[in-house]
Amino acid sequence: MPFARLFNVLFIGLCLLGSSRVQAQSVQENFLKGNIAYGNGQYGEAEQAYRSVLGEVQSAEVHYNLGNTLAQQGKWSEAAFHYMKAYALNPNLEAARGNLMLAAERMGLSQEYPQLATPGRLLSERQWGGVAAVTFWLILIFFFHREFFRFRIPLSKTLGTISLLVFAFAVVAIMQHKLYKEWAVVSSSLVSLRVAPTEQSPGESVLVEGDPIRIIDQQKGFFRVMTSSGAEGFIQQDEVYSLGND
């Protein structure tokens, strides 16, 4: 009986491993298919291929390529959204930031798209998470190693202080990335910024396609948002591309 259970566990593990390899191969094939289609000017096929990839994994490069594909089709607001996604996943991808500015220019927007501040812009959120995890354990080792071990680490207080400072920077950077994900892009040509979350509510002002907005809350199919100028109101959820949605 124990042998049968072990066999089942091993069999399931091999199936999962095989499935993950097949999935990775499918993702790579769709990515290459998208690149070839884009190179041949077949932007509809490239868009479909890149969307298939993003249905499986989140990649700055794929978001960037999809943004370029949409831009070639004149879909500038959605292209801007994917440039923002690429920038959020990899702040060092300067091409995404540059194309985001180009998209704003093509749409004639008066408002600039937000960008990550330092230290968040130095690394991705995942990388900063790794830095936070490593420095957390270093803090414990340098400050409390004598509670568990007999030996003493030279300059432990200095190294512990440095680790604490780096950990604090990492936490700030992660929070900056979290706040950046609150931003969204208006997807409809004209959107009313409503006083209340109802379709009958009057509009205080009008937003245009491509405008950057920050999502504060959501209720009853509406987002409560703030514009770059500080105005607040409600818009329907299907009228925006939200960075928080992976």
Are 52 and 36 in the same domain?
Answer: yes
Are 206 and 160 in the same domain?
Answer: no
pLDDT score of 246? 53
What is the DSSP track for 96-110? HHHHHHHHHHHTT-S
- Which residues make Cβ contacts (< 8 Å) with residue 163, sequence separation at least 6? 135, 138, 139, 142
Are 192 and 162 in the same domain?
Answer: no
The mean-pLDDT minimum among 47-51, 218-222, 241-245 falls in 241-245
- For residue 91, being part of any structural domain is answered with yes
Are 51 and 134 in the same domain?
Answer: no
Contact 30, 53 (CB under 8 A): yes
Residue 5 has pLDDT above 50, yes or no: no
Cα distances (Å, whole numbers) of residue 244 to 104, 156, 182: 21, 40, 6
What does pTM read for this prediction? 0.81
The mean-pLDDT minimum among 13-17, 24-28, 91-95 falls in 13-17
pLDDT tens-digit series, residues 124-179: 999 999 999 999 999 998 888 776 666 677 788 899 999 999 999 999 999 999 99
pLDDT score of 77? 94
- The mean pLDDT value for 61-70 works out to 96
Which pairs from 68-71 meet CB under 8 Å and 24+ separation?
Answer: 68/38, 68/99, 69/34, 69/38, 69/43, 71/99, 71/102, 71/103, 71/106
Are 8 and 75 in the same domain?
Answer: yes
pLDDT score of 24? 73
Contact 86, 67 (CB under 8 A): yes
pLDDT score of 148? 67
Percent residues over pLDDT 70 in the chain: 87
- The mean pLDDT value for 193-216 works out to 91
Domain that holds residue 232: 183-242
Which stretches does DSSP call E strand in the chain? Answer: 183-186, 190-194, 203-208, 212-219, 222-227, 232-236, 240-242
Tokens of 55: 């249905």
- For residue 112, being part of any structural domain is answered with no
Question: Band of the pLDDT at 99, cuts 50, 70, 90?
Answer: very high
Question: What is the count of structural domains for the chain?
Answer: 3
